[in-house]
């Protein structure tokens, strides 16, 4: 259990004191059993030794308590939602849910973007949207990428992309496509040709 990582998959280990187990947050394997259930030392404890760090059991108690709280919180969030996937390493270290939970649809959309080699171009148009109409980016990841894709089509080919193509690449609904198309036309009308400079 070197560096508090799972020896099997490298995931972050979580000390679950309720179950008395050390569990991998990624693969779920029970790595060890906790035998010492004592809380961290406090300065008003008789047993406090005057050390500046709390007593350690396979690492600092404070860090593990934080990881346990975060782990339990995110498990409640995704309970009953098997289509959601968590980047446990990122979440347990940052405590932020932003961009740490992704749906199956978003993962598939990102895979399609990579396979089609669209990442660089879409990033360019997302930056352009951020300059011209930042409120448009208050959407899911796949909707933002779909909006950038539609905008790139309007810019280069002077016509929108085929609806079924956008739906298939970005895993969005027909209703979302129509909404994003209207928004893309609005953004395109605000863009000066000198501001575009497509990649």
Mean pLDDT over 28-42 rounds to 63
The DSSP letter of residue 60 is: B
Q: Are residues 75 and 160 in the same domain?
A: no
Q: Are residues 189 and 115 in the same domain?
A: yes
Among 99, 129, 148, which residue terminates a domain? 99
Range of the domain at 128: 105-196
Q: Are residues 64 and 10 in the same domain?
A: yes
Which residues, at least 6 apart from 33, have a Cβ–Cβ distance to it below 8 Å? 20, 21, 22
pLDDT in tens, 71-127: 777 777 777 877 777 777 777 777 776 667 788 888 899 999 999 999 999 999 999
Angle at 110 (CA atoms; ends 142, 182), nearest 5 degrees? 25
Asked if pLDDT for residue 57 goes beyond 70, the answer is no
Dihedral angle computed from the Cα positions of residues 24, 41, 39 and 94, in that order, rounded to the nearest 10 degrees: -40
Q: Are residues 31 and 77 in the same domain?
A: yes
Q: Are residues 90 and 113 in the same domain?
A: no
When pLDDT is cut at 50, 70 and 90, the band that residue 143 belongs to is very high
Helix H or strand E encompassing 65: helix 61-78
pLDDT in tens, 159-197: 999 999 999 999 999 999 999 999 999 999 888 654 555
The burial of 82, by beta-carbon neighbours within 10 Å (0-12 exposed, 13-18 middle, 19 or more buried), is given as exposed
Q: What percent of the chain has pLDDT over 90?
A: 35
């Amino acid at each position: 259990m070197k560096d508090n990582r799972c020896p099997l998959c490298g995931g972050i280990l979580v000390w679950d004191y309720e179950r008395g187990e050390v569990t991998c947050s990624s693969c779920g394997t029970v790595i060890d059993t906790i035998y010492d259930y004592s809380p961290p030392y406090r300065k008003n404890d008789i047993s406090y030794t005057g050390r500046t760090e709390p007593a350690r059991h396979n690492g600092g108690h404070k860090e593990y308590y934080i990881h346990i709280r975060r782990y339990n919180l995110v498990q409640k969030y995704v309970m009953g939602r098997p289509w959601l996937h968590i980047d446990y390493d990122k979440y347990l270290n940052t405590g932020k849910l932003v961009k740490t939970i992704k749906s199956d649809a978003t993962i598939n959309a990102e895979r399609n973007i990579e396979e089609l080699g669209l990442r660089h171009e879409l990033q360019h148009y997302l930056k352009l949207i951020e300059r011209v109409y930042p409120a448009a980016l208050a959407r899911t990841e796949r909707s933002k990428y779909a909006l950038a894709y539609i905008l790139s089509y309007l810019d280069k080919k002077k016509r929108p992309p085929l609806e079924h193509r956008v739906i298939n690449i970005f895993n969005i609904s027909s209703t979302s496509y129509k909404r994003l198309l209207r928004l893309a036309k609005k953004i395109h009308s605000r863009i000066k040709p000198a501001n575009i400079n497509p990649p």
